[in-house]
Amino acid sequence: MRGPHDQPGRRSGRPGDVHGFSHVPAPAARRARRSGVSRNRISFFERPYPDANSVLIHGKRPTLVDTGFGSGVHELESWLTAQGVCAARLALIVNTHHHTDHVGGNHHLQTHHGTPIAAHPWEGRAVNRRDPEACLGRWLTQPVQAYHVTQFLRDGDTLNAGDSTWHVLHTPGHSLGHIVLHREGVGITGDALMTGDIGWLNFHRDGLNSAERALESLDRLAALNLEVAYPGHGPVITDVPSTINAARTRTEKMLRNPMKAAWHGTKRIFAFALMSEGPMTEQDLHAYQARNPWITDYARDVFHVTPTEFFTQLLGEMTRSGAARWEGDHLIITGPYRQATPGWARTPTNVSDWPPAPAEWT
Ligand SMILES: [Zn+2]
Ligand SMILES: [Zn+2]
C-alpha cells in the first residue's frame, strides 16, 4: 500500500513513482520523525491529460490543491479515500489557477461536501461574477461546471493547510492569477513549472507581457530555493534549479519569437481539445473550427490569415510534428491521455449558463 510522502522540510524530497504518491523517506526524514519535528505529509496524484495533477496536504486541515478535469472527479474521490482522507473531510481546495484541467472537480466536491475553495482574487472574483472570461471556458469552448470561490489568496498570504503554515506566491504568466504554495523548500507549482515544457502563454489575450511575467515568476520561484516541486503536469521535480533554467530558456525564446509563442499556445489548446473531446473526423474539425472564438481571434489578430487558413496550418503543424496523427478518418493525439467519458457533465458547462454564486460571494 502506497503511503503519503513524508516531508520533513528542506532536507527531504525523493521523486515519486510513476503514479506519483510513493516516496522513500530520506535519512533526514527518518531523523526528523524520530525527533518529533513537524513535517509535511503530501500525496501526489500524477494523472494524464485532460486532468491536471492533484496534491493532498495531510493533517488536521486536509487540503487538496487542484481537482483535475470535470470527468475525472470520481477517480479523484477514490484516490483521496485510498490516501486516508475521504472527500467529505477536506478542509479546503486550493486552485493554482482557473484552467479547466485544474478546477474541473470543484463542482462535484463543493456541491456534495460543501468544500471551501480558494484562488487568487483576479480569477476567483471572475468565477463568482460568472464572467465569460472565467476559466477561459467560453473562449476555448472547454466544459467546466459551476463552483464559487470562498477564499482569496494573494501574494504573501499565509495559509493553514495540513498541520502547517504555507505561503502564497503570485506567479502570473501562464495565467494572470496563477499562484504557487510553498513552505520549507517544498513547492506546489501548478503550471508555473513543469519538466520538459512550459505552461502555454496566452499570447493573444495577454500579449508578450505574458512571457515577461512568466520570466519574473520564474525568478521569484528560483529565489525560494525549492528542493522539490509538485507540478500541475508530469512527475515530481527534484532538480528544481535546472528545471527553472530550462523553463527560462524556453520562455526567453518565446519572447524573442512571438510567433513561436503563438504556435506553442495554439497547439496546446487544440491538443487539449483532442484529448478532452476525443478523436475528430473532418466533419468534427469543421464544427470545432466554426464554434471556437480562439481560432478566429488568433487567425485575425496574430497570424493575419483567415480562420480556415490558420486552422489548416495548425492541423498540418500538429501532424508534421507528430503531436497528432490520422487513424482511419479520425485525427487523434499521440501523447499519453485518457479520453473523458462522453456525457460526464449533468449540469451546465458554460460559465454563462451557471446559476449565480451565493450573494455573499459576488
Ligand atoms: Zn494545466
Ligand atoms: Zn493551465
Phi-psi region of 132 (alpha: psi -120 to 50; beta: other; left: phi over 0): alpha
Please tell me whether residues 267 and 218 are part of one structural domain: no
How far is the CA of 102 from the CAs of 151, 266, 346, in angstroms?
A: 17, 19, 19
* Residue 207: band (very low, low, confident or very high) from pLDDT cuts 50, 70, 90: confident
Which of 225, 256, 287 is at the close of a domain? 256
Reported for 251-257, long-range contacts at CB under 8 A and 24+ positions apart, including other chains, are: 251/173, 251/198, 251/201, 251/211, 251/214, 251/215, 251/218, 252/211, 252/215, 254/198, 254/201, 254/211, 255/208, 255/211, 255/212, 255/215
Give the pLDDT mean for 114-140.
Answer: 96
**Ligand 2 geometric centre to CA of 232 (Å):** 8
Give the ligand with the smallest distance to the CA of 54.
1
Higher pLDDT, 327 or 19: 327
Distance 33 CA to ligand 1 centre (A): 34
pLDDT digits (tens, 9 = 90+) for 110-123: 999 999 999 999 99
Determine the structural domain holding residue 268 and report its residue range.
Answer: 258-333
Ramachandran angles phi, psi of 8, nearest 5°: -85, 5
CA of 112 to the centre of ligand 1 (A): 24
Instruction: Decide if pLDDT at 81 tops 80.
Output: yes
Residue after which a domain boundary falls, among 201, 226, 256? 256
pLDDT cut 90: percent of the chain above it: 83
Residue 18 lies in a domain: yes
Of 256, 272, 289, the position where a domain reaches its end is 256
CA–centroid distance, residue 218 to ligand 2 (Å): 16
* Whether residues 268 and 187 fall in one domain: no
Distance (angstroms) between ligand 1 centre and the Cα of 29 equals 30
For 350, what's the count of Cα atoms within 13 Å in the CB-facing half-sphere?
A: 6
- Please give the pLDDT value at position 336: 87
Looking at the CA of 272, name the nearest ligand.
1
Distance 223 CA to ligand 1 centre (A): 23
- Are 92 and 224 contained in the same domain? yes
* Distance of alpha carbon 225 from alpha carbon 158, whole angstroms: 18
Q: How far is the CA of 86 from the centre of ligand 2 (A)?
A: 26
- Considering the domain architecture, whether residues 136 and 175 belong to the same structural domain is answered as yes
- pLDDT, one tens digit per residue, over 219-249 is 999 999 999 999 999 999 999 999 999 999 9
**Beta-sheet pairing, 63-65 with 158-161:** unpaired
Where residue 25 falls (left for φ over 0; alpha for ψ -120 to 50; beta otherwise) is beta
Q: What is the pLDDT of residue 208?
A: 84
- Whether 240 and 317 map to the same domain: the answer is no
Helical ranges in 60-152 per DSSP H: 73-82, 100-103, 106-113, 121-129
Residue 116 neighbours by CB distance under 10 Å: 16
Specify the CATH number for the domain of residue 29.
3.60.15.10
CATH number for 300: 1.10.10
The pLDDT value recorded for residue 2 is 36
| Ligand 1 center–CA 148 separation, angstroms | 19
Q: How far apart are the first and last CA of the chain?
A: 44
Q: Which of 9-18, 30-39, 339-348 has the highest mean pLDDT?
A: 339-348
Structure confidence by residue, pLDDT tens digits, 272-317: 999 999 999 999 999 999 999 999 999 999 999 999 999 999 999 9
